[in-house]
């Protein structure tokens, strides 16, 4: 029985939750400094404001990037799920994901020779799967374009811009030691 994708998606979206309740902020005069956070306590990796690259031979539990891409190189294995919020998920031929792959506000690329045991989903971006048999689960893509703007990308972008510069480090074991940095 496959592990549900919901916990990974909730981890990724938790970075944006405080922004959903706030009033829209004015755009800053200059771009905020990039914030990078990594949590590898349980074998998972999560970053914000940069790309996450899973190198050949590396094995991780979950891979999550906010405002960056997740790139799974040839020979790398992700035991559970891969998620990119306002970024792309790019698998190289020979990469393996044993769970689901999702991108919100970006595209998902699964070239021939890469393999996903679960579902692949692109919300607000393209889904590119070279060979359908390389994805064991469902393939889903949704993009809502109005006047040339993708509404999914706009929604995610506004939610994350409100919380820019703050990174939430989460520990699934105990909510008492979660903190903002």
Residue 15 pLDDT grade (very low, low, confident, very high; cuts 50, 70, 90): very low
Q: What's the pLDDT score for residue 111?
A: 97
For residue 54, report the phi and psi dihedrals to the nearest 5 degrees: -95, 115
Q: What's the pLDDT score for residue 41?
A: 66
Residue 41 counted as domain residue: yes
Residue 67 pLDDT grade (very low, low, confident, very high; cuts 50, 70, 90): confident
The pLDDT tens digits of the residues spanning 97-131 come to: 999 999 988 899 999 999 999 999 998 888 999 99
Average pLDDT over residues 26-37: 49
Residue 81 counted as domain residue: yes
Domain with 116 in it:
6-17+36-165
Percent of the chain's residues with pLDDT above 90: 46
Q: Burial letters for 36-68: b for 16+ Cβ neighbours within 10 Å, e otherwise?
A: ebebeeeebbbbbbbebbbeeeeebbbbbbbbb
Domain with residue 146: its CATH number is 2.160.20
Residue 180 counted as domain residue: no
Q: What's the pLDDT score for residue 71?
A: 97
């Amino acid at each position: 029985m496959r592990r549900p994708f919901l916990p990974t998606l909730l981890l990724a979206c938790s970075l944006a939750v405080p922004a959903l309740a706030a009033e829209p902020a004015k755009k800053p005069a200059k771009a905020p400094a990039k914030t990078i956070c990594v949590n590898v306590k349980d074998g998972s990796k999560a970053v914000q404001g940069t790309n996450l690259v899973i190198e050949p031979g590396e094995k991780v539990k979950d891979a999550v990037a906010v405002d960056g891409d997740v790139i799974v190189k040839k020979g790398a294995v992700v035991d559970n799920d891969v998620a990119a919020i306002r970024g792309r998920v790019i698998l190289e031929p020979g990469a393996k994901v044993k769970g689901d792959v999702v991108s919100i506000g970006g595209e998902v690329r699964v070239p021939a020779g890469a393999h996903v045991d679960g579902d692949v989903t692109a919300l607000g971006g393209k889904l590119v799967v070279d060979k359908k048999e390389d994805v064991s689960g469902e393939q889903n893509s949704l993009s809502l374009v109005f006047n040339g703007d993708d509404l999914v990308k706009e929604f995610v972008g506004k939610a994350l811009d409100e919380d820019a510069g703050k990174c939430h480090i989460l520990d699934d074991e105990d909510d008492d030691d979660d903190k903002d940095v």
